[in-house]
Structure 1
Amino acid sequence: MNVLIKSATIIDTKSEFHNQTLDILVEKGSISNIGKSLKNPNNYDEISLENLHISQGWFDSSVSFGEPGFEDRETIENGLKTAAFSGFTTVAMNANSHPAIDTNSAITFVKSKSRDHAVTLLPIGALTKNSDGVDLAELYDMKSAGAVAYYDYKKPISNANLMKIALQYASNFDGLVYSFPQDNKIAGKGVMNEHITSTTLGLKGLPSVAEELQIARDLFLLEYTGGKLHIPTISTAKSVALIREAKAKKLDVSCSVAIHNLYFDDSVLNDFNTHYKVLPPLRTKTDIDALIEGVKDGTIDMVTSDHTPYNIEEKKVEFDYAAYGTIGLESAFGALQTIFSLKKTIDILTKGKQRLGTVNTPIAVGNLANFTLFNPEKKYTFTTNDIVSKSKNAIFEGASLKGQAYGIINNKQLILK
């Protein structure tokens, strides 16, 4: 793949060209030259786009595509196309398929389906067999096939001894264990945040303490066992404080937050729109402020779209019975830029790869081209026309966003909208 990118503003604090507007020559998938007004003697394709900016390729630590088993929601092929059009060069895919991705052969299948795509797919294996929370899956066997972590997506491990054993066992091969932060006994049948809005609407509340108790338990187990723990999609102020305290103790813990939990509070549920039914639920403005501060000070390591497609039959039902989840790849950049500066947004979108065993590639001559191309200034209202996913359950539908991706260059391929 050979291409000349014209007049691109480089946003990469790890590059000597940070904040400079330059041409970038890519030959055979690698950066061969960076400079002003580069010549094009070989007549390569040229990319010249309005207000073009470029950064290291973006990463999302939690996406779900459905395949195998739920192809009606999304396929791996179209999911990776969605990621590319949304600016992501690398995504970590959850194991919540049918059957669950819990064996060496299942990891191999996912890897084979993503081969030759511009977007690099990092498979997350199930932590327990069939994600049932009873017996550990073959963790080392999946690692041998390419699994980067282990997670029963949105299913908490209620058995504390099982989590203890998982942390101890995975530490033998530097495995990363995810633990969804929810105590189901406390959560009960709650469907939204337990607060004034839930009382007003007459919906069962899901209290913050259900999340915080589980996090406290897992941090105690981590301190006892050692190992590596990741707590995905936290949502409360107290959760941020607990993880901040654990990091001060030098425990090997990381965490993430979903973009929608930084943007919406529970008051948006007044019309019972199931697009807003997510897990963990949307919380309060106080929680949002604490989460944003956690992102800024590094307590929260990753911000994810938590992209989870569901078809209309699973969402267009009574609120109590609707599935939890929203798509989010297409709106991720535009939503983040309404909260953070451009520099911080790009920092957020390029963080987290190392935790899952891969590396960042700075924009420098000689490096492989792993870029995201985007316009950070475009303001627009997010509509169904912006959705590439097969499923349309978009929490950001109707939201005012800022910034759109043009596409990516990765794995020696150029993908533009």
Structure 2
Amino acid sequence: MLRCMVKGVFLLIIAIAVISAFGHASSNCTRRCLAEKLMAKSYMSQPQADNCKQIIRVPWISYKTLSVNTVTRRLYSRLQATMIWTDPQLGWDKSEYPYDAVVLPVNKIWTPELRVTNAVRTTTVHASRDLLVCSNGSVKHQVIINTEVACDINMFKYPFASDECPVAIQAWEENGCGMSLKLAHARPTAEEDNGDWRTTDTRLLYQGDETDEKSYIMVSLSTKATNPFITLILPSLLIILADIVSFALPLGGGERNSFKVTLVLSFVMFLIILKDLLPGDGKCSPVIRVHFCTCLIFLVLSMLASLLLTRVSKDGSLFALPGSKTSVPEHMDQKQEAVDEESKPQIIEVTELNAPGESGVLEKVVIFLEAQATRDRVSDQHQNIANKMDKICLCVYLCLFAIYLSCMLYMFTGYKECQSNHFEFWEDDDNTASQMTSQTTKP
């Protein structure tokens, strides 16, 4: 009996020693020790729940517009998202390890991957090399997404354009398995003015039903019209103004014609320089292209009218016909030819007009002066006709340009332009999915 009691006491002492040894070992395990134990599990796959879906909560996502390419209609933006998910296998008992959270390397455990559905190019990087794991298995991590989104921005009223562009954010999901993304809030960063564009609003919206809910950030964009107006519209209006003022130049001498030709060539060079800076063509073509084309038509028509009126001021006709002459009376023209061919020496010696036998010379001088006066009178008539036609052309020019300016102001302010469908990428995905479903259900 005594031997049994001694043996029991001995076993109890051994048990207490073992328990105390293990408890001491556990209490001596630091945060780094705990992190090494969690890393040793090497859980690189997605946590597998009973419903085959992992919920990824995003408390907030920060959005910033980097730039907008008006030629290719691309939106470059930067997203920074905080993600929280639960991995029960990464949790621990706080009575055994008295720590609320530990830090693990981001490449040692599984992390979710966000994607931008309508992006042409996306680059995702981790905001930090480490992430935070809590005792209940909750994991918190941040990622930075640089994306290039193809958005058919409505450029109809450029440089006074404004439109909305969606940035669709989703996580991988297939046949009910994968990840379920729960976005809570989206906020813009501090500096939102980027080049000729500004971000006026950022909203987090949803589309679809509860079974197929799609989330996206609707970014409202508008142009800062000062720079495009100065570099695009103002030079064209100033060239048109110079063309209108050039009507003050006289038709004769060629100064006006050379000036108008210079204006046309200058405007053509202006368009060549701006060819790569104008907005790209799309469903809603920018009206500024029509503006430049109309301005060029005005300049060319003004140049052609000036050339024709110069001809009218010289010969009294719009076009020079073969063998045509100045409209001088025929009898005066014949007398002038007689004077030119037969009596040139006598005309030169005007001082001898009173000499005997020289009375015919005076008559020839009179005929010459009358013919010259007739030519001057006809030339003045041609010039007056050309000036009247020039005034009519100027009035027509001003009326047409005023009508054109009124139409352009209406197009920029009151006209209801065409609308672009920014969600075609989702419609294409839905059509593709329905086609694949119908093909798989066929017997």
Whether these two folds match at TM > 0.5 is no
Tell which structure's C-alpha radius of gyration is larger.
Answer: 2
Task: Give the TM-score taking structure 1 as reference length.
Answer: 0.19
More helix by percentage: 2
Q: Highest relative contact order (Cα 8 Å, sep 6+), 1 or 2?
A: 1
Task: Give the TM-score taking structure 2 as reference length.
Answer: 0.18
